[in-house]
Amino acid sequence: MMIGCSSMLSSRLAVDVAVIATAGHVDHGKSALVRAMTGIEPDRFEEERRRGLTLDLGFAHTVAPDGTLLDIVDVPGHEDLVRTMIAGANHASVALLVIDAVEGPRAQTYEHMKVLEGVGINVGVVAISRCDLVDGDHLDLVDLEVRDLLAVSRVDWASIVHTSAVTGAGIELLVEALAEAVRAGGVHDRYRAARPARLVVDRSFHIAGSGTVVTGTLDSGNLARGMVLDVNGRSTTVRALQRHGNDVDSVAADARCAVNLSGIEVAEVVRGDVLCEPGRWAITEVFDARVDRDTVDSLPRRVEIHLAGARRHASVRLLPTTPNLVRIRFSGALPLRPRDRLVMRSIGSGRVLAGIEVLDVSPVLRPSRAKPDGSVESIIAPHGWLRTDEAARLVGDNVPETIPGWVAATGVVGVTLEQLRKRLESGPVPTTVLSEPERLLIERIPGVVVERGEARLGDRDPVLDHEVVARVRDGGVTPPSVDDVDRAVLGRLVRLGIFMTHDGVYFHVDAVGEVNPVLEQLWEANPDGFTVSMLRETLGITRKHAVPLAECLDDRGATRRVGDRRVRGSAG
């Protein structure tokens, strides 16, 4: 099965891998430079080659002399295809900005630079193309114009290389400059491979005998054959994987790959759909974000947002707590995590408005109170206590447990402890009325004892010293009335296992236990069991005490009622 480019990887070991996105005005020679560097034709369609105009994403790769593997995504430069350009640039590690030596920077040069900044690319290389068509004086002027342009960019432009795809001038230097940019910081964070897998589809097609195949940049996690993924709320399985036309068992972020999927038709997955690990992502339609502008007052209230090839119309609401914070709402949920970079565009003109950084994928505070900053504390604090897996989805990474199985912000822990202390000061607290985090936390409070289903302060429960305990104990199987005692005290003594009760009569557990020799006498005389009347006569008590005592014996397991008789119980 061939699901990627037909060319083979160099046998040389790649020490670094990076996805590189081209950028620049239409007809400035981006595709020509990609062909010259890689020997691969990035224009996949006959119309593109006939017109000399890139209309869709193209893909190529090469290995630099130092072993760095460069995955190149070639993007269209036409102003009508900015959406496609965003799909190619998002999740790239390094930018290759191409500027024609004849024309210098043009409209889409500036537009593409805003996209590169918006998607969060930090490092790039500038290639001044078609240098064979100008003289040295003209090239010097273009250099000055380019340097002025780069001086105000958020991207760290590592170098400017003069090139010609026709003569080959500067091509080797350009490959080396891109590899150097990778080493200087163009590779995404290494720990991304330990995160859940996510791939935004940029191509989807059918191959006879294989079925549905998609391609894209794996921006986090790992993919492996046999792995189950979610796409559009459906489950699909990775049947096979390829890198640059070669079958592989697994792929790690950040890398481009082709994925053969089973259980889904090609029409059911298109550019912009997202493959992700089930249960490990926050699938959301609302998030708080920071906009790459000093103020957001001039932003339209309806915009278009882009995550690679995924596009959504969205509403924007300002968060008054900080000048550049907004709340975004849209339809068609996406798997997002904090620190994701998206691009915001105007719906009417298609103009790139700004880049945005996701801060909170599940905001619960009202906009007037929300102060997201992307930190773990700010994300989890409004949610109170969270299961560890839920916290990981919201934070986008594993979060250390606060208590086994649970996570909470420092302030939430403090409030919970204070509430528990106040409850304990009022008396013992039944653990059944506590939440699971409270039950785990209350045991850690100094001086707290948990036993018989209750938590209390001190080594001995003061209720054990209440005068009613001795009064009932001394009463034996004919205990006195306890109508003068607080019901809460009696209830706690029952929960602690000190008293047993039926029909408003309270027996001390020791008194119930002392009846055992009498039970043995009754069973010896009555093998088929004894009646309540027999128990009453043998003990010399009235029916008022005999009936509830018999019920307590049943509860304890000493006896078991069969008709009107008591036979030996499980604990008899």
R_g of the chain, CA atoms, integer Å: 37
Question: How many whole angstroms separate alpha carbon 261 and alpha carbon 557?
Answer: 60
In angstroms, how far is CA 513 from the centroid of its own chain? Answer: 56
Query: CA dist 385 to 337, 421, 432, Å?
Result: 19, 18, 18
The ranges assigned to domains in the chain are 17-186, 192-276, 287-372, 375-459, 469-568
CATH architecture of 469-568: Orthogonal Bundle (1.10)
Q: What is the pLDDT of residue 293?
A: 82
Question: How many whole angstroms separate alpha carbon 177 and alpha carbon 160?
Answer: 9
Running along the chain, 572 residues long, what does each successive block of 10 average in pLDDT? 36 60 93 95 70 78 93 83 86 93 94 92 95 95 95 93 96 96 68 83 92 93 96 94 92 90 94 94 97 84 92 94 91 94 91 94 95 95 96 94 96 94 86 94 88 80 87 95 93 89 95 94 94 95 95 94 93 69
pTM for this entry: 0.77
DSSP state of 197: P
Same-fold call for 192-276 versus 287-372: yes
Q: What is the pLDDT of residue 377?
A: 95
Which homologous superfamily is 192-276 in? Translation factors (2.40.30.10)
Within 13 A of 64's CA, how many CA atoms are on the CB side?
23
Question: How many whole angstroms separate alpha carbon 192 and alpha carbon 178?
Answer: 22
Instruction: Provide the sign of the torsion angle of the four alpha carbons 102, 107, 112, 117, taken in this order.
Output: positive
For the domain bounded by 287-372, which CATH number is listed? 2.40.30.10
Q: Residue 368's closest CA among 299, 295, 319, 297?
A: 319
Q: What is the pLDDT of residue 187?
A: 53
SS3 call for 108: helix
User: Does domain 17-186 sit in CATH 1.10.287.610?
Assistant: no
For residue range 230-268, list pLDDT tens digits in order: 998 899 999 999 998 899 999 998 889 999 999 999 999
